[in-house]
Amino acid sequence: MREALQFYIDGRWVAPHGSTVIDVIDPADAGVAGRVAIGDAADVDVAVAAARRAFDGFSRTSVTERAELLDAIIAAYQKRAGDFADAVTAEMGAPAWLASAAQVPIGLAHLQVARQLLDDYAFSEQRGATLLVKEPVGVCGFITPWNWPLNQIACKVAPALAVGCTMVLKPSEVAPFTGHIFAEVLAEAGVPAGVFNLVHGDGPGVGAALSSHPEVDMVSFTGSTRAGVEVARAAAPTVKRVHQELGGKSANIVLPSADLEQAVTGGVGAMMVNSGQSCNAPSRMLVPAAAMPRAKEIAAEAAATHNVGAPSSNAQLGPVVSGVQWDKIQRLIQAGIDEGATLVAGGPGRPEGLEQGFYVRPTVFADVTNDMEIAREEIFGPVLTILGYDDVEQAIGIANDTPYGLAAYVQGEQQEAQAVAAQLRAGQVYLNYPELDMTAPFGGYKQSGNGREWGAHAFGEFLEVKAVMGVAAADR
């Protein structure tokens, strides 16, 4: 049984202030995978104080010193790849192959991208007689979710370290083990005491204390829009910087020029990755109304190829993360049926032979209208909705008719797809299922959040800009 009963503060593993410990549930069988200690505001105070003490020294380190530190972190991370993969599978049910092939590598990729960018990043710029200097924002509070745990930890920690910030991380209490191992990696790599701190806990206890803490200069949160609103409210009295990567209900427009079979099959596959538990999943597929009958057939055939099974098997889909999540998904599947959408694959209940654990049948609804609950709410499970449109202008209108704006997808002839992309209100647009670009900025419009992660844009989130006027270039 795994245990995460200590916190990493000021370069040491320490006992929590309180005594609260909760079970971490294994989604595969609903048994106990381990235990995690739950911190409180007192633990946050200690961790933030350590980060504040460390900031003056670490913020003045050279680029070379921070580059060498990232090199050491990358090496230590690679040595623990197997441990990370096992932890991801145990805590959030990712199939073993997905943990090894995607969940762990994406965390490493963020570290590597930050390291590569650091060599050439301009921390100062001369403009006439004014010197613009980019300086680390200060002490950062990080609140990360369970669905891609290493991705969301590393895409915050890597750029923050690269530019000279110090930090306190609260990983999800639902999936805490990867965060715990990540702290062990940073300790092994020799990150100076107080620069990185970890406090386990829940949102009301630790998340709220981090968000509202007067000595935290920035809070970066990834999670639901509802929780993001609470983080912003807690942060407001101290006027700290708030970065949010929130929910999504991304449209996938299949243009008349697209290869329908390829576009629909690819869209089903993209939706089902990680059991549909991705904020940028293409959950609303838009097809020409005349093509709806054939799209239903293709989608049903594609969904049937996505088998569900234990994370230790070679199944494409494992369980969803928790009983709470399973119940929400089941409620929304039933809502789709009650609203009159056509169920073309999957449906309520567990797949046959999987009576234990939080398994969901890969589900596809067609003949969906954009006012249905299943087209409005982020389901966060393996559930695809297919909507029809009469012309491309209407498709763009439907795609933008959502409070979210994290991502969008367009399939079809390249120039037409680009023209449609220009009209979509989303932070990322994927044309014809491209390879993932780890340097592209990631973040959303509207209620999908504010700010950007990944690549050079992530550096900017953790920097303040100071204008020093009256500096001649020759004086530098």
With H, G, I as helix, E, B as strand and everything else as coil, classify residue 169. Answer: strand
Pairwise CA distance, residues 303 & 301, whole Å: 6
Question: Quick check: is 215 catalytic?
Answer: no
Among the listed residues 91, 173, 245, 461, the single catalytic one is 245
Identify which of 137, 149, 58, 139 has the alpha carbon closest to the alpha carbon of residue 102: 149
Pairwise CA distance, residues 385 & 153, whole Å: 30
Q: What would the DSSP string read from start to end of 294-350?
A: HHHHHHHHHHHT--B--TTSS-SB---S-HHHHHHHHHHHHHHHHHT-EEEE--SSP
Using an 8 Å Cβ cutoff, are 428 and 252 in contact?
Answer: no
Q: In what order do the strands lie in the sheet with 32-37?
A: 2-4, 32-37, 21-25
Pairwise CA distance, residues 221 & 369, whole Å: 32
Identify which of 70, 87, 5 has the alpha carbon closest to the alpha carbon of residue 38: 5
By CB atoms closer than 10 A (0-12, 13-18, 19+), residue 55 is buried
Question: Quick check: is 155 catalytic?
Answer: no
Place of tokens 């909760």: 22
Pairwise CA distance, residues 64 & 77, whole Å: 20
Which residues are 141's β-sheet partners? 168, 219
Among the listed residues 279, 378, 453, 461, the single catalytic one is 279
Residues 131-170, buried b or exposed e (16+ Cβ, 10 A)? Answer: bbebbbbbbbbbbbbbbbbbbbbbbbbbbbbbbbbbbbbb
Q: What are phi and psi of 219, to 5 degrees?
A: -120, 130
With H, G, I as helix, E, B as strand and everything else as coil, classify residue 468. Answer: strand
Task: Please state, as a whole number, how many other Cβ atoms lie within 10 Å of the Cβ of residue 352.
Answer: 8
241-245/218-222 β-pairing? parallel
Which residues does the annotation mark as catalytic?
245, 279
